[in-house]
Structure 1
Amino acid sequence: MTAPSTAPAPSSRGGRWIEHWDPEDETFWNATGEKVARRNLFFSVLSEHIGFSIWTLWSVLVLFMGPEYGLTPADKFLLTSMVTLVGAVVRVPYTFAVAIFGGRNWTIVSASLLLIPTIAAFAVMKPGTSFDTFLWIGLLAGIGGGNFASSMTNINAFFPLRKKGWALGLNAGGGNIGVAAIQLVALAVIGASGGPRLLLGIYIPLIVVAAVLAALFMDNIANVKNDTGAALDASKDAHTWIMSFLYIGTFGSFIGYSFAFGQVLTNQFGRTPLQATYLTFMGPLLGSLIRPVGGWLADKYGGAKITLYNYVAMAAASAVLVVASMQKSLPLFVVAFVVLFSLTGIGNGSTFKMIPGIFQTKALAKGLEGDEAVKYGRRLSGASMGLIGAVGALGGVGINLAFRQSFLSYGSGTGAFVAFLAYYAVCFAVTWAVYLRRPATRTQATAAAEAKPQLSYAEV
């Protein structure tokens, strides 16, 4: 029996802790819940958006770092790969921080922490600074990658099952656009003949604003608890790691290309930072905006089918990039790269859509029904998403290291694109073999995974 649902959500502990929160109660949701949830969503997106911008800050800063900085293309790719690595790793503790500190409180802390790498970069961003110094400061910027995990965990608690897809999709897309946003701001700065410190000076006050607004307008939910048992169970399930492998191909590609696109244009095609920035923002922007489309297509046609066909398209786009790279055709290269970015967005949506269906199917295979099956599926899919998101981000490390080795070995990114094409082909094979192949001995669990694609949890 829930508390009276017509009463406003009562708060205590300083007025920012909500003791009673029952979004599944439609009367409660319509009376007070939706307004509170939407307010928290808005300011959570703002903080996560800036977190993504700071995480990918060095994808832009390296474009400002000309010959006077004494860094080789390999140095720059190593730098951005290490930033990506930290962003992936910190997603795991950030996932659990919401339940420990409260969603509002952790949003304030995680936003404020972004000041450290931004102010540090402002202090050292000048010729003569050693590569090791840049590397350490870049590692600090990786904490911005964790904001995604804590923001998704927090918003997941605010919305009812029937609304989670929309809310989490908006949260994820709004954060991802932070990649394109910082590149657009950099374009304006470069166009105005400004330097990297001007770019950093713009973001320092924005970080402060995000932290202050979170303090003023967000809430903590008292009954959000960490379920370490669910995380352990999810880590033991093979599907968690299969989906992590597939998510490396989609989100790993998205974040890796976000860091690398500008560097490839400057190093391989001789574009100036201004010319490169005119082009680089388009890919992350389209990849972010189209992510909900991938979820929608997965709703309609099945997550595994869309993921499968999407990997075919990603492999084809990679093949075109190989040709464009060998022919040194900048127009073809840019078009194919932007298409590839868009496909990563579709794949992000379709792969995340598969996760709840897989664990709901496992619940049915165990003989669970109704609310018990939903509860089991939500528990494991929620836990697995944190792990999958962290492992998937590691793909960005591989992308940048592959480009680094390709430029060292061949002087271009061609070798890297061949490797990416091969990876997408393997992802295609895994998706088909595990989730779409229909042998006579196929188990009930596998059969139901795509027979029931339209589960309402986490439609991102």
Structure 2
Amino acid sequence: MIAPAPTRRGRWIERWDPEDEAFWNATGERIARRNLWFSVLSEHIGFSVWTLWSVLVLFMGPEYGLTPADKFLLTSVVTLVGAVVRVPYTFAVAVFGGRNWTVVSASLLLAPTIAAFTVMEPGTSFSTFLLVGLLAGIGGGNFASSMTNINAFFPLRKKGWALGLNAGGGNIGVPVIQLVALAIIGAGGGPRVLLGIYIPLIVVAAVLAALFMDNLASVKNDTGAAKDAARDAHTWIMAVLYIGTFGSFIGYSFAFGQVLTIQFGRTPLQAAYLTFIGPLLGSLIRPVGGRLADRYGGARITLWNYVGMAAATAVLIGAGMRKSLPLFVSVFVVLFVLSGLGNGSTFKMIPGIFQAKALARGLQGEAAVAQGRRLSGAAMGLIGAVGALGGVGINLAFRQSFLSYGSGTGAFVAFLGFYAVCFVVTWAVYLRRPIGRVPATASASEEKTQLSYAEV
């Protein structure tokens, strides 16, 4: 049964086999779910801190002396740091243990929050805001370590749901902080009120993680997994697909309010009334994307999801050119929902891909499961990091589009082209060969891999 190692300090689990149904039903599921809920809490607050500046820029009126281009650059920097730190955060789970790193990563969120509380006033230089924005980027790293950790707790048949719920609960930190900001702006409060609310919440998340989460000994000290995952072409193929889904979600979350204020002349309060809806629905739908992928295959859901995203983007281009705010907002919300659905389906694909590769190498039973879990957990952090860079690209694209054309239309044209590329990649790599039909010269392992790819 499960027993903590006597030589280790803290909450350690030495034996963990979620694919064993007897073990899972007896004790595994209860422990996995407990770790999932507290992981969601910490990741949720991490997302809120990461997207803090998408809200703070709405508070920054003319008295702050920042141009729209300055604000897009500021949010781009925050997004960039959040993407980059996901790589070391992925390694951190193997180095320190999932529970231990959750405590540390949650506590680190105090630095950007307190720093923003200190400098958030007119007269502060733009360079100071950029430096403080760099700190806020660490909130984006919590996703990578959280997903790597939770991936190890659940069996393959449950991963779509569990990872979707974990990520969706984190993603929902975006609309929550926007809703809190809306309430504060509506009540006539300032940005320091918002920051003052989150500082104690960060402390609570760190304490609860310390009290109720666990470390898995099987994940500890496996830093080589990330290196192996980085050498696999599928890691980078999935990273491209994740740019299209999560990169869209986080990029639009940062940019939506600014697009409404610049292109459609909405006030910060009017923009705040609208900006939270898309991220909220996109976050809530992410577990549904994982569940659909569990049932029908992540590759299929992802493929048709890109069709929907491309269609929505085409409508957005028309709505922007006609300056139809109701149509623009409605379709933008649909695009958020599709990005959330695709987030769930793409992340479900990752464990299935590496499980299929393990089987193709001749591994069987627990050895194949362990290898698939090992590489998929590491790959998730790398894929999450590259995917978040899509948010940087979106904000820079909007910045350049407004500088060049005075609207976001040019950026949306570029996004439409990228979604078309993602559709082709998904079809060509994972769905091109019909299920059950392989060349006569293909080996049994190749056939098994192809069939599994179609089902991932």
Residue among 87, 101, 105 paired with 1:106: 101
Corresponding residue for residue 395 of structure 1: 390
Distance of 1:47 and 1:371 partners within structure 2: 31
SS in 2 for 1:350: helix
Distance of 2:197 and 2:292 partners within structure 1: 38
Distance of 1:117 and 1:52 partners within structure 2: 13
Corresponding residue for residue 9 of structure 1: 3
CA contact (8 A) 1:9 1:33 kept: no
Partner amino acid for 2:316? L
Corresponding residue for residue 302 of structure 1: 297
Residue among 332, 339, 343 paired with 2:334: 339
Partner amino acid for 1:438? R
Partner amino acid for 1:249? G
Verify: 1:382 aligned to 2:380, yes or no: no
Q: CA deviation at 1:351?
A: 1.4
SS in 1 for 2:172: helix
CA contact (8 A) 1:177 1:289 kept: yes
SS in 2 for 1:290: helix
The percentage of counterpart residues that share the same residue type is: 83
Partner amino acid for 2:117? F
Distance of 2:215 and 2:53 partners within structure 1: 32
TM-score by length of 1: 0.92
Partner amino acid for 1:387? L
Greater alpha carbon shift after TM alignment, 294-303 vs 342-351: 294-303
CA contact (8 A) 2:49 2:139 kept: yes
Verify: 1:365 aligned to 2:363, yes or no: no
Corresponding residue for residue 261 of structure 1: 256
CA contact (8 A) 2:4 2:14 kept: yes
CA contact (8 A) 2:248 2:390 kept: yes
Q: Which structure 1 segments of 5+ residues have no match?
A: none
Corresponding residue for residue 63 of structure 1: 58
Distance of 2:10 and 2:221 partners within structure 1: 23
TM-score by length of 2: 0.92
Assess, with a 3 A threshold, how the Cα gap between structure 1 residues 286 and 9 changes in structure 2: closer, same or farther: same
Partner amino acid for 1:200? L
Which whole-Å deviations, capped at 9, do the CAs of 1:149-171 have from their partners, x for residues lacking one? 11122223333444333322221
Corresponding residue for residue 283 of structure 2: 288
Which whole-Å deviations, capped at 9, do the CAs of 1:301-335 have from their partners, x for residues lacking one? 33222212111111111111111111111000001
Assess, with a 3 A threshold, how the Cα gap between structure 1 residues 39 and 296 changes in structure 2: closer, same or farther: closer
CA contact (8 A) 2:90 2:382 kept: no
Assess, with a 3 A threshold, how the Cα gap between structure 1 residues 19 and 381 changes in structure 2: closer, same or farther: closer
Distance of 1:143 and 1:107 partners within structure 2: 13
Partner amino acid for 2:217? A
Q: CA deviation at 1:207?
A: 0.8
Task: Write the mapping of 1:111-260 to structure 2, written as runs, cut at 5 A.
Answer: 111-260=106-255
Distance of 1:321 and 1:397 partners within structure 2: 20
Corresponding residue for residue 50 of structure 1: 45
Q: CA deviation at 1:211?
A: 1.3
Assess, with a 3 A threshold, how the Cα gap between structure 1 residues 449 and 59 changes in structure 2: closer, same or farther: farther
Q: RMSD of the alignment, in Å?
A: 2.2
Distance of 2:193 and 2:291 partners within structure 1: 40
Corresponding residue for residue 348 of structure 1: 343
Residue among 88, 91, 101 paired with 1:96: 91
Assess, with a 3 A threshold, how the Cα gap between structure 1 residues 382 and 209 changes in structure 2: closer, same or farther: closer
CA contact (8 A) 1:356 1:455 kept: no
Assess, with a 3 A threshold, how the Cα gap between structure 1 residues 407 and 203 changes in structure 2: closer, same or farther: same
Partner amino acid for 2:271? A
Distance of 1:414 and 1:447 partners within structure 2: 45
